[in-house]
Structure 1
Amino acid sequence: MTLAYPLSDPRTEVPAASLTGVMDRLGVQMRFARNAEIYAQDDEVEHLYRLVSGCVRTVRLTSDGRRQLGDFYYPGDLFGLEPGPDHRFSAEALSECTVQVVRRSAVRASAGDAELDRAILTATHRELQRTQNHLMLLARKSARGKVAAFLLAHAEAAEQDRVELLMGRQDMADYLGLTIETVSRTLTQLQDASVVEFPSTRRFSVKRWETLERLAE
């Protein structure tokens, strides 16, 4: 059994053409350095964001100081489309990235309330799918199963022999609900078992697909 892709997938359905057209006409492209904040947790929702290049992560800090990682976003993804008045998560540039930004009021004036509402509904549906898949990933009992599922998802989405991981070990740990020590140890075990190979810290290839799929079940 193969794993349903738990992260952002550039093949997912995009919003209506009229919305993307408005963003192309009215949006401003902004560049962000690695680890730069795009918007903050609890900021008022005022803009729509579409990732042009790079990778973005969403992060929430809890009242007791714990860091929760929401998801990763890739080129073509819309993010920050929340139904409420404030952002529940902050958005940070995981790598150097370019983001197309447009005010909601400009979209509303050009495309109308109905188009904006449809975009929010589409984004809410997509975020619900992300959340459900993330919960399924966290529900796996073993650290090896969680890490294997994470690697398998990226390998299936990349559709090439060598897979680039833009996130570091700490991001992986926070996303999987594990410690960084556990993630590092599990990756070493998978490599020692010749399931995957890491020629560098953020690049890997799958050597035994069936084994990785079995571990990810």
Structure 2
Amino acid sequence: MLVRTQENASRRSGSSELNALAGHAVFCSEFKYHRGSEIFGEGEPLEYLYQVKSGAVRSYKLLADGRRQIMAFHLPGDIFGVENGAVRRFTAEATVETTVRLTIRQNVVDEELGLAAATNNILKLVTSNLQHAETHMLLLGRKTSIEKVAAFLIEMDVRLSAAGVLNLPMNRRDIADYLGLTLETVSRALSQLRDRDILAFIGHSHREIMVRDRAKLAMFDH
């Protein structure tokens, strides 16, 4: 299935990132998703490639015991939905109000076009995804809870920070399911970092975070 809660879909030329991936001009549609809306589900046909225009998307897999393991967060500019095989291995959902662009996968990977640039670009994207998966596995298996949370904040600081403030587009449950921790453990680790004056919370939701001491935060990520 394509989209459950889209609004104001419009046909338009592809973004520069999707054009660069394909190696030629592609056309894409633009859809809006409400927080928690599914973009695609595990087991669905692999028909489309996506790019986040605004908001954020989580990719996750439900484990046999019913727990949710978030594999990645896709942020503005990120291209996602690139997988091998005929069906989706993960589910993707909007974590906040989100706008995505999508294009038919065949527009990018059509072998008849014979574009070496597209093949190289897709291989680079797949390699980048594999590197992220490797880093994520190491984070899950080898770090203490405060080290995991610090590593997550450093990643988000690089990808999101504007004017020194992190505006996280995911809640603490999402962070916990990404790091393989409980909600309480994530909250406790964030409080410890605040108490050490490494970060400060802005507002009541605690999604806006000011990193006061990046050097000290980096000491936990080793």
1:169 aligned residue: 172
RCO greater where, 1 or 2, for CA within 8 Å and sep 6 or more? 1
Partner of 1:212: 217
Compute the RMSD of aligned alpha carbons: 2.2
Q: In 2, distance between residues paired with 1:17 and 1:75?
A: 16
Unpaired runs of 5+ residues, structure 2, are 1-16
Matched position secondary structure for 2:174:
helix
1:142 aligns with 2:144: yes
Check conservation: 1:15, 1:119, Cα contact below 8 A. Answer: no
Assess if the C-alpha contact under 8 Å between 2:22 and 2:109 holds in 1: no
Compute the TM-score of the two structures, normalised by the length of structure 2: 0.82
Query: Per the alignment, do residues 78 and 113 of structure 1 end up closer, same or farther by CA in structure 2, a change over 3 Å counting?
Result: farther
Q: Does 1:19 align with 2:22?
A: yes
Structure 2 contact 150–220 (Cα < 8 Å) conserved:
yes
What is the TM-score when the length of structure 1 is the normalising length? 0.84
User: 1:113 deviation in Å?
Assistant: 5.1
Gap change, CA 1:97 and 1:110, over 3 Å in 2: farther
Aligned length: 202
Identify the residue that residue 49 of structure 1 maps to in structure 2.
50
Alignment of 1:3-42 (within 5 A): 17=20, 19=22, 21-23=24-26, 26-42=27-43
Task: Name 1:63's counterpart in structure 2.
Answer: 64
Contact 1:16/1:119 (CA < 8 Å) preserved in 2? no
2: CA distance between counterparts of 1:64 and 1:138? 18
Counterpart in 2 of 1:203?
208
1:61-210 aligned within 5 A: 61-108=62-109, 112=113, 114=115, 117-157=119-159, 158=161, 160-200=163-203, 201-210=206-215
What letter corresponds to residue 120 of structure 1 in structure 2?
A: I
CA contact (8 A) 2:42 2:88 kept: yes
- Structure 1 unaligned blocks of 5 or more: 1-13
Question: Does structure 2 conserve the Cα–Cα contact (< 8 Å) formed by 1:22 and 1:111?
Answer: no
- Give me the whole-angstrom Cα distance separating, in 2, the residues matched to 1:20 and 1:95: 31
Identity %: 37
2:156/2:166 contact within 8 Å kept: yes
Deviation at 1:95, TM superposition (A): 1.3
For the residues of structure 1 that align with 2:136 and 2:154, how far apart are their CA atoms?
14
Q: Distance in 1 between matches of 2:43 and 2:33?
A: 20
